[in-house]
Amino acid sequence: MDAKRCHLFELVYYCASCNCNPIAIHDQVYSRLYKGAEGRGYLFRSAFNVTKGPLEERQFTTGLFTVSTIACCRCNQYLGWHYVRHLSNQKKKEV
Helix (H) / strand (E) containing 43: strand 39-44
* CA 70 to the chain's CA centroid: 7
Distance of closest approach, residue 21 Cβ to Zn ion, in angstroms: 5
Question: Is 18 one of the binding residues for Zn ion (CB under 5 A)?
Answer: yes
Q: Which is nearer to Zn ion, 17 or 66 (CB)?
A: 17
Q: Which is nearer to Zn ion, 34 or 78 (CB)?
A: 78
> For Zn ion, which residue of 3, 6, 9, 17 counts as binding (CB under 5 A)?
17
Task: Encode burial over 18-41: b for 16+ CB neighbours within 10 A, e otherwise.
Answer: eeebbbbbeebbeeeeeeeeeeeb
Residue numbers 31-90 binding Zn ion by CB under 5 A: 72, 74-75, 77
Distance of closest approach, residue 90 Cβ to Zn ion, in angstroms: 38
Smallest CA-to-CA distance from 1 within 43, 35, 36 is with: 43
Residues of the shown chain interacting with Zn ion in the complex, contacts defined by CB under 5 A: 15, 17-18, 21, 72, 74-75, 77
